[in-house]
């Protein structure tokens, strides 16, 4: 792993006994001593601390309308101090990446996926002025029902934030950029912190008995239970936002006006429906159904009709869960399908997403 980059919390991960793995060009913790199951359940019950410093942070000093030429969401109507989920789309209506966009008054603040950040920054720079990659700050996420208590003990103002609020706060002379958001389905925060203060902040949060360090393994099972997309798996350049069930991310004005890459396809699918859809799946046995598993309309069908895009065990449900793409006529909740696992056809049923209700602080 000598060619991999490391985050500003690398030494802390090793000290905490993390198992490190390659991920998006970085050496990242997949789990700690609690293990994936323990970390998942701890986050649901108390609070988990995640290192997400590998993700891309970008300041954009261009008008909101300029960014709207690249995304199908309403950036102009985003109030100051608020954040919105967005998507970079391509001319074919596929998704280049998903991201978060925050209005911080005189500029926008973007957080993009680690695996796509170089391409996303190049995409922004090719089309917009005022693109400033942030290279001197770490990013940590504090998630779970005890997150508010743990963070507000250090930064009292965060308790008043609502889901998708953003703000700049002081912590012992250090400027923290905080959003009330996350990737677990739980209430919580994402905190951008100067790299030279990131370890101090992480250690201070971990000193709270409710907070445990959480790795990528539990991050994935948490987001899967929450029905959240993972770029490059559930969504990619061939998947439209409508196929992915992300219609809610496209506000009424943008649906009507268009003016974003792939608008013809996306507006058509909004009006007529897509040919396939991302769905939740509940396997009827105990065997997990992993990414890439083919899906069939009948136990004896010759050709697959879809594929699982994310799958594993849901610790909160104590059962296997999965997401995948299926034709529209097989996407209704309760529809039976069959997955081919190690040469055997195993039954599953389409189910609504998320698998577990989210607990965001609205």
DSSP string, 87-142: EEE-TTS-EEEEEEEEE-SSSEEEEE-GGGHHHHHHHHHHH-S-EEEE-SEEEEEE
pLDDT on residue 361: 94
Q: Does residue 64 have a cis bond before it (omega within 30 degrees)?
A: no
Distance CA 130, CA 124 (A): 9
Q: Structure pTM?
A: 0.97
Long-range contacts of 267-270 (CB under 8 A, 24+ apart): 269/93, 269/240, 269/242, 269/243, 270/242
Residue with tokens 């891309």: 56
Rounded mean pLDDT for each run of 10 residues along the chain, 362 residues in total: 89 98 97 98 98 98 97 98 98 98 98 97 98 98 98 98 98 98 98 98 98 98 98 98 98 98 98 98 95 98 98 97 98 98 96 97 91
Q: Looking at the domain 10-54+135-225, which fold is it?
A: Gyrase A; domain 2 (3.30.1360)
The domains of the chain are located at: 10-54+135-225, 275-362
pLDDT value at residue 2: 67
Residue 280's pLDDT is: 98
Burial classification of residue 91, based on how many CB atoms lie within 10 Å of its CB (0-12 exposed, 13-18 middle, 19 or more buried): exposed
Nearest to 225 by CA among 185, 190, 258, 193: 185
DSSP string, 233-256: TTB-TT--TTTTT-GGGS-HHHHH
The set of residues, in sequence order, having a beta carbon less than 8 Å from that of 126 and lying 6+ positions away, is: none
| CATH fold for domain 275-362 | Elongation Factor Tu (Ef-tu); domain 3 (2.40.30)
- Please state, in angstroms and rounded to a whole number, the distance separating the CA atoms of residues 248 and 353: 14
pLDDT value at residue 123: 98
């Amino acid at each position: 792993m000598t060619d991999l980059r490391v985050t500003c919390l690398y030494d802390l991960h090793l000290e905490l006994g993390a198992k490190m793995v390659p991920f998006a060009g970085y050496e990242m913790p997949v789990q700690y001593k609690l293990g994936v199951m323990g970390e998942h359940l701890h986050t649901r019950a108390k609070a988990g601390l995640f290192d997400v410093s590998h993700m891309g942070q970008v300041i954009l000093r261009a008008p909101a309308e300029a960014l709207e030429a690249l995304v199908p969401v309403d950036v102009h109507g985003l109030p100051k101090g608020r954040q919105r989920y967005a998507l970079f789309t391509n001319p074919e209506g596929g998704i280049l990446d998903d991201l978060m966009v925050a209005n911080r008054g005189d500029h926008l603040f973007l957080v993009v996926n680690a695996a796509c950040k170089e391409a996303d920054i190049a995409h922004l720079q090719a089309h917009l002025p005022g693109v400033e990659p942030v290279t001197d700050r770490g990013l940590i996420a504090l998630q779970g029902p005890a997150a508010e208590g743990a963070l507000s003990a250090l930064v009292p103002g965060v308790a008043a934030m609502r889901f998708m609020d953003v703000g700049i706060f002081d912590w012992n002379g250090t400027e923290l950029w905080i959003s009330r958001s996350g990737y677990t389905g739980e209430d919580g925060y994402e905190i951008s912190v100067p790299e030279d203060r990131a370890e101090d902040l992480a250690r201070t949060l971990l000193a709270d008995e409710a907070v445990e360090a959480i790795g990528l393994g539990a991050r994935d099972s948490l987001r899967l239970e929450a029905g959240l997309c993972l770029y490059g798996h559930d969504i990619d350049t061939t998947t439209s936002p409508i196929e992915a069930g992300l219609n809610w991310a496209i506000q009424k004005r943008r649906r009507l006006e268009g003016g974003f890459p792939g608008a013809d396809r996306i507006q058509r699918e909004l009006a007529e429906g897509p040919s396939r859809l991302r769905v939740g799946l509940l396997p009827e046995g105990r065997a997990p159904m992993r990414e890439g598993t083919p899906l069939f309309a009948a136990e004896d069908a010759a050709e697959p009709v879809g594929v699982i895009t994310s799958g594993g065990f849901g610790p909160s449900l104590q059962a296997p869960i999965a997401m995948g793409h299926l034709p529209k006529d097989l996407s209704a909740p309760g529809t039976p399908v069959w997955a081919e696992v190690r040469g055997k056809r195993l039954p599953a049923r389409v189910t609504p997403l998320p698998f577990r209700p989210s607990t965001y602080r609205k």
